[in-house]
Amino acid sequence: MRTQILQLLRAHSGQYISGEDLSRMLAVSRTAIWKHIQSLKNEGYAIEAHPRLGYTLRQAPDLLSPKEIESCLHSHSLGRQIHYFSDVGSTNNEAKKIAADGCPEGTIVVAEAQTVGRGRLSRGWFSPYGKGIWLSVVLRPPFQPQQAPKCTLMAAVAVTKAIRSFCDVPCGIKWPNDILYEGKKLVGILTEMSAEMDAINYIVIGMGVNVNTSAEEFPPELAEIATSILAVKNEPVSRLQLLCRILAELELIYQQVIREGFAPVLEEWKTLSVTLGQAVNVIGPDEQYSGTAVTIDEDGALLVETDMGLRKVIAGDVSIRPQAAGNQQSANNS
């Protein structure tokens, strides 16, 4: 009921809507409307009441609560079931639990803060309260397990397009799982899977988006390698609107993959890449070498031209080599 009241108040933005009209439209008593309005006020919604005019919404709290997400969601399946936490260890860990219990595809886990957020290779992810989008999405795709790693590339395309269109920030994708702006990390993506030999049980795509973290708030060890949309634009951005844009973009691209396969997405990834054409260091568990990132193949692997010929990079960490000392920061803290 409170979600419906919020939707009506937003639909009459800048205007008053009477308790009588709300009562009639929602088929409840005016007393019930008043009680729900009081509850919304207690949750941080600035709702002004006028004895003759009714109610108007002046300001909503900067939260990614289910009521807020439902009020602006444009996707049809992603985000229709929401597990929300004020703070949580890791949204990916929670998403894997509910996925194993059979939650429907498109279920999301979102938190205001993470205490043990994770990136690739078990690295930590700075996830302060109310400053970013800490999100995991559960998918149950029909394709084979060997195609699952390409879901990271799919998500990177979706998030990059959402940030570019909504925030007007010309970010790009670093293979395999980061989104950068001028060499600094804006977004990290972590994809995890449960599968049988020939079928995927579920895929969880975790995304950490640095939205409204100020440059001064990043820990010293991240200050030179991480950034946020706020730091780039010098103004805060609606986390809620960006989250809903990300879900809409991801749903469109995911549906395209199911219809047409990954080939179109991989081509789009190439146009958004900041890795291709760059000198890179390939840091693996047993070796390290340098070369030029040429392209990605149909499996999403990075092809690197080295002095010893073309190398295919499937696992390991790739960092963009500085072009001059101190000129470009390494971005290998995925």
Domains 1-59 and 66-272 share a fold: no
- 201 carries a ligand binding annotation: no
Which residue is listed with tokens 């929670």? 94
CA distances to 97, 290, 291, 310 from 305, rounded to whole Å, are 41, 9, 5, 4
pLDDT of residue 321: 63
* 80 in a known ligand binding site: no
CATH number of 1-59: 1.10.10.10
pLDDT attached to residue 287 = 84
Q: Per CATH, which fold does 66-272 belong to? A: BirA Bifunctional Protein; domain 2 (3.30.930)
What is the structure's pLDDT at 118?
A: 55
59 is in an annotated binding site: no
Pick from 186, 166, 187: which is nearest to 232 by CA?
186
CA-CA distance, 34 to 24, in Å (whole number)? 13
* Phi, psi (deg, nearest 5) at residue 10: -70, -35
Of 313, 116, 119, 134, nearest in space to 225 by CA:
119
- Residue ranges of domains in the chain: 1-59, 66-272, 278-320
One of 2.30.30.100, 2.90.10.10, 3.40.50.300, 3.10.450.50 is the CATH number of 278-320, namely 2.30.30.100
Distances (CA, A) of 148 to 28, 142, 152: 48, 10, 8
Cβ neighbours, 10 Å, residue 264:
14
What pLDDT score does 117 carry?
62
Under DSSP, the state recorded for 273 is: B
**Angle of helix 30-42 relative to helix 19-26, nearest 10 degrees?**
100
The angle subtended at Cα 203 by Cα 202 and Cα 208, nearest 5°, is: 145
Q: What is the pLDDT of residue 121?
A: 44
- Report whether 120 belongs to an annotated binding site: yes
Residue tagged 């219990």 (tokens): 101
Taking residue 2's Cβ as centre, other Cβ atoms within 10 Å add up to: 14
Do the annotations mark residue 212 as ligand-binding?
A: no
Contacts of 194 (CB under 8 A, 6+ apart): 96, 99, 100, 200, 201, 202
φ, ψ dihedrals at 143, nearest 5°: -90, 175
Q: If DSSP codes are grouped into helix, strand and coil, which group holds residue 167?
A: helix
CA dist 75 → 209, 251, 253 (Å): 19, 7, 12
pLDDT tens sequence for the chain (334 residues): 888 898 899 889 889 999 999 999 999 999 999 999 998 888 778 999 999 899 999 988 788 999 889 888 999 999 999 999 999 999 999 999 999 999 999 999 999 999 876 554 445 678 999 999 999 999 999 999 999 999 999 999 999 999 999 999 999 999 988 999 999 999 999 999 999 989 999 999 999 999 999 999 999 989 899 999 999 999 999 999 999 999 999 999 999 999 999 999 999 999 999 999 999 999 887 788 999 999 999 999 999 999 999 999 986 667 666 544 333 333 333 3
Ligand-binding annotation for 118, yes or no, is yes
